[in-house]
Structure 1
Amino acid sequence: MAAEPHGIAFVHHDWELACDNTRTCRAAGYHPQPNDEDDGDSDTDTLEKALPVSVLLTRKAGPHQPVVGELHIGHYGEETTESFPGKRSLTLLIDTRPVGQVTLARGHWIASLAPGQTAALLAALPGHGNIQWTDGKRTWKLSNKGAAAVMLKMDEFQGRLDTPGALLAKGTRDERDVLPAVPAPVVVAPGVPADADRVRLSTPDLAALRQALAASSGDECSALADPAGGHSIHMRRLSRTRLLASTTCWAGASDVAEAYWTTSAMPPFAATLVTTNGRAYLQGKIDASRWAGGFDCMDIDEWTWDGKRFVQTRKGTTGMCRGIDMGGAWSLPVIVTDVRPAPVRP
């Protein structure tokens, strides 16, 4: 991790961790599931009725960095917000002991936790503490199953093991030994020709292109193996010497995936595969993000043209598919970048 850190993703029971390439870590926990085993809670009816809720714990890299906590009350598929009061106050209870309140305005389902509440959560999560939020009528319970493993993994990734600031494995090692934050890589994105500027090839050149694409993708895109029944290949210009080729790689009942390659502008079209799971291309960016389950979580993938190649500029998820929110509960990246337009030449 000392040179170029790579992000990690880790899931254990009801908790997950995503640490990105700047060494910022985000841990998300959720309500307990009815099929949890060895939960210590034998009240199956309570588990089946658990209201969806999630907590996000974010910590930047470097010595003496605090943990920032946020609460997200699940409301995916719920009735319109007009039926709720203008403001709703929720009391945090840890083993029935009140630890302050959070306030949610109508139509807003995410609230920041006070530093004292976050500290109380961090102390309760590794054990078997009963963590709840209640408005007096409804109660949202947070599972701590898997939290200890996620907290330990976060300490390990950020180099905090055996330091006073570790979440779990505290010790006396100097806090200055904690790994520092790393700036997000800068990707300079030059302008590309308009998407309408399609490149048209002769029949012999198209056959050579299809052969080059098939050779570079192997078995990853079987549609290329059938020239007669395969999908059309679309060509766009990226620069004077490089082209972008794409074709439908697979199609399901409700989803389609496009394969994308960069190629030389002339035969024999030396091809480099970018992805076989693409969803859309627009102005130098390939989006391969798609729903992971239903419409309450997504996998995020994006590549940006830097003038020579496509660089992955975003990768992550929106969290577990737990019915928290349309599109997911949080942003949990493992790759972040600083994409900047190329300077305009005078």
Structure 2
Amino acid sequence: MRCRLPAHRPTHRAAPWRASARVAAWASVVWAAAAVHAGGTPPVSFAHKDWALQCDNTRTCRAVGYQSESGDSEPVSLRLTREAGPGTPVQIELQVSTEKASPAALHLKVGSLSLPGLQGDTPRIPAQQVPRLVQELLKNDEATVAAGKDPWVLSLAGASAVLLKMDEAQGRVGTPGALVRRGTRAESSVLPPLPAPRVNAAVPVAQRKADAALAKPLIAALDRASVEGQCNGDDPFRPDQVQVYRLTERKVLLSVPCAMGAYNFSQLLWLANDRPPYQPVLLDDVDGDFDPATGTVRSAMKGRGIGDCWFVREWSFDGKGFVLARESGDSLCRGFAGGAWQLPVYVTR
């Protein structure tokens, strides 16, 4: 029912992607590399048929299911969220997409369970109904959602495998609180939550009138051979094409527009001194639009032209360089304008 488009234009250094499976494969590699670089373990990502799982670096897991890709249902999605640790509850939210006006209420049916009167853009299933709903999701092939005469069909193909993977990622298999394979193993054996890393963000100093004039000498100091072949179109290294941002009393950020694809755009960023020797250093792992008000670089990659899945990364300036602050993405591209959900991969404080 809602369209969630990122506030900034989509950017990424990679070439445009057209197949959602290819985008998901790329994203899983980037996410794992980012987690290792940040000193943690790779986040758990898993997809099977019409369901997918994403656990972040705190061990909070989110499983999402959609309509069948081969069916004719309008977009519908269910999201299950569970934090790590013994005895934590499961939260379930529902979402549909329609070209009509947003329905006042939704009616979810699966197996013998009927849940009418679910209100809101992303209505949350009542907590007392969650355990029974989970069991019905595991026993049936599909669930239906209705608003008046308008129907949606949620595929449950892949739900069992994905929820089992969620249990495995959180160390719940064989415990009373497991979703799929319950047992008598002590609930206290469930893996605890991990603390989110702290990012000490620093606000850049005010821009100076003379900073724009640094573009020409900074460009002259670049090692262009190191980025040969990454950019397309007209010469992006013209002084009138680049941006210079003040970071500290002696450091600036040089932003160069690099590649324009069908629906993704990329930039190259260098950290440099504001006087000779400029010594510009390419930020290999940082790419996107810089916001001087917050000191953040944000990259948003659109998985398909219709914008039904996005992958977002954000870095914060800590006074010396840029550190990864957050990362999230859509696991499957299933027709929601702006994406159905943003599933956190990496979170910080």
By the TM > 0.5 criterion, same fold?
Answer: yes
**Preserved CA contact (<8 Å) 1:99 1:117:** no
Is the alpha carbon distance of 1:142 and 1:66 closer, same or farther for their aligned partners in structure 2, counting shifts above 3 Å?
Answer: same
| 1:137 corresponds to which of 149, 173, 178 | 149
Contact 1:279 1:289 in 2 (8 A): no
Mapped partners of 1:12, 1:72: distance in 2? 20
Q: RCO (CA 8 Å, sep 6+): is it higher in 1 or 2?
A: 2
What RMSD, in angstroms, separates the aligned Cα atoms of the two structures? 3.0
Maintained 8 Å contact 2:286/2:322:
no
Q: CA deviation at 1:183?
A: 2.5
Q: Report deviation, 1:230.
A: 9.6
1:100 aligns with 2:123: no
| Cα distance in 2, alignment partners of residues 245 and 179 from structure 1 | 44
Q: Are the equivalent residues in 2 in contact too, given 1:53–1:142 (CA < 8 A)?
A: yes
Q: Which moved more, 1:247-256 or 1:141-150?
A: 247-256
Distance 1:127 1:193, change over 3 A: same
In the aligned structure 2, how far is the partner of 1:226 from the partner of 1:194?
A: 29
Tell me, in whole angstroms, the C-alpha distance in 2 between the residues paired with 1:19 and 1:68.
15
Compared CA separation, residues 205 and 143, structure 1 to 2 (3 A) = closer
The match for 1:33 is 69
Pairwise CA distance, 1:170: 2.3
String of CA shifts for 1:98-134, please: whole Å, max 9, x gaps. Answer: 4332422xxx421010234322332133344432223
1:240 and 2:249 matched? yes
State whether residues 205 and 249 of structure 2, in contact with CA within 8 Å, keep that contact through their aligned partners in structure 1.
no
1:197-234 Cα shifts (integer Å, max 9, x gaps): 535338565322x21x653xx45734599688798443
Shift of 1:69: 0.5
Q: How much does 1:23 deviate?
A: 1.2
3-state DSSP class of the match of 1:201? Answer: helix
Matches within 5 A, 1:274-285: 274-275=284-285, 277-283=287-293, 284-285=295-296
> Map of 1:1-346 to 2, 5 A cutoff?
4-34=40-70, 47-48=71-72, 50-75=73-98, 78-81=99-102, 87-90=104-107, 92-95=108-111, 97-104=112-119, 108-135=120-147, 137-194=149-206, 198-201=211-214, 206-208=219-221, 210-211=222-223, 214-215=225-226, 218-219=227-228, 221-222=230-231, 232-265=241-274, 266-267=276-277, 269-275=279-285, 277-283=287-293, 284-293=295-304, 294-324=306-336, 326-338=337-349
Matches of 1:199 and 1:33, distance apart in 2: 50
Offset at 1:275? 4.4
268-277 vs 21-30, greater mean Cα deviation: 268-277
C-alpha change, 1:159 and 1:241, in structure 2 (3 Å) is farther
Deviation, structure 1 residue 237: 2.1
Within 2, Cα distance between the matches of 1:51 and 1:126?
Answer: 22
**Count of aligned pairs:** 308
Determine the C-alpha separation between the residues in 1 that align with 2:218 and 2:115: 69
Letter in 2 for 1:88: A
Is the 2:68–2:154 Cα contact (8 Å) retained in structure 1? yes
Which residue identity is paired with 2:220? Answer: A
CA distance in 2 between partners of 1:19 and 1:200 (Å): 46
Would you say the 8 A contact 1:223–1:248 is kept in 2?
no
State the 1:74 CA deviation: 1.6
Unaligned runs of 5+ in 1: 35-46, 339-346
Deviation readout 1:75-118 (Å, 9 max, x if unpaired): 2xx1344xx5xx3351x3223x24332422xxx42101023432
Question: SS where residue 181 of structure 1 aligns?
Answer: coil
Q: Which TM-score applies when normalising by structure 1?
A: 0.78
What residue is the counterpart of 1:37 in the other structure? none
Is the CA contact (8 Å cut-off) linking 1:15 and 1:150 kept in structure 2? yes
Question: Which amino acid is 2:297 matched to?
Answer: I
CA distance in 2, matches of 1:26, 1:319: 10
CA distance in 1 between counterparts of 2:262 and 2:173 reads 48
Deviation at residue 56 of structure 1 after TM alignment: 0.6
Are residues 227 and 278 of structure 1, via their aligned partners in 2, closer, same or farther at CA, if it must alter by over 3 Å? closer
Q: CA deviation at 1:253?
A: 4.6
Q: What is the aligned partner in structure 2 of residue 40 from structure 1? A: none
**Structure of greater Rg:** 1
Bigger strand fraction? 1
Task: Supply the distance in 1 between the matched residues of 2:315 and 2:183 (Cα, whole angstroms).
Answer: 41
SS of the aligned residue for 1:321 comes to: coil
1:161-192 deviation per Cα after TM superposition (whole angstroms, max 9, x unaligned): 22221222323222112111123222121220
2:45 counterpart letter in structure 1:
A
The one-letter amino acid paired with 2:105 is R
Q: Which has the larger displacement, 52-61 or 8-17?
A: 8-17
Report the 3-state secondary structure (helix = DSSP H, G, I; strand = E; otherwise coil) of the residue aligned with 1:120.
helix
